[in-house]
A = this chain, B = another copy of it.
Amino acid sequence: MTVDFWFEFASPYSYPAAMRIERLATQRKLAVRWHAFLLGPIFKAQGWQDSPFNQIPAKGRYMWRDMERLCSHYQLPFQRPSRFPCNSRLATRVACWNSGAPWLPEYVRAIYQANFSQDLNIADPEVIAACLGQAGQVAGPILEQADSMESKAKLHQLNQQVVRQGIFGAPFILAGQEPFWGQDRLEQALDYAQACSPPVLKQANGQLNEVR
């Protein structure tokens, strides 16, 4: 089975989820479709002009403490970004246009590390270019494409699909139609998907034959 992993580059809790999902999915023989989207327009439609972590200071203070604990638990480097939320539009358009590219997960992880462990400004095309480089890509043509009207339109359409699918926060995992919100639900979502996957059939000759 393939699970759909929806994330926002500016979302703190999406960081540990993005760093962990591939290994956890592989252990369960699941594939992952990676989808970057923008939370900003969704929050605006809910009447918020800023991240709830900024609008409600006590919630923000708690979240950063919780992130420190979580990342320490998962042994992920963490540094609280000096800008929050960062402007993730360009980085997201790169991911959206190149959806399905084999290098996408590597790029996604590089962007998250830049934002949440190196405190780099991921709105900066040079930072994005370096992340594309880490994923083995030549940045120039990709960044040029990401600035095109087609690329902006594609992300706009994707964000409308996000709303239609009932996604209201990040990270969000869809295992078929079953929704799971939050880094805290990662294992549960993948366990669910694994339980839904067709069983492995043992053939008469003793070889394993997986039904896809």
Which residues of A does B touch, CB under 8 Å? Answer: 46-47, 55-56, 58-59, 61-62, 65-66, 69, 163, 166-169, 179, 181-182, 184-185, 188
Contact = CB atoms under 8 A, between A and B. Distances in A.
Q: How many chain copies does the complex carry?
A: 2
Contacts of A58: 163, 166-168
B46 A168 contact: no
Contacts of A65: 179
Contacts of A185: 66
9 contacts: A58-B163, A58-B167, A58-B168, A59-B168, A62-B168, A62-B179, A62-B181, A69-B188, A182-B184
> Nearest 3 pairs between A and B by C-beta?
A58-B168, A58-B166, A184-B184
Contacts of A62: 166, 168, 179, 181
Contact of A46 (B56, B69, B181, B182): B56
Given A46-B56, A56-B46, A166 B66 contact: no
A181 B66 contact: yes
A65 B61 CA distance: 29
A56 B56 CA distance: 17
Contacts of A61: 166
Contacts of A182: 184
B184 A56 contact: no
Nearest to A69: B188
Contacts of A47: 55
Contacts of A59: 168-169
A185 B13 CA distance: 14
Given A46-B55, A59-B169, A65-B179, 13 more contacts: A46-B56, A58-B163, A58-B166, A58-B168, A59-B168, A61-B166, A62-B166, A62-B168, A62-B181, A66-B181, A69-B188, A182-B184, A184-B184
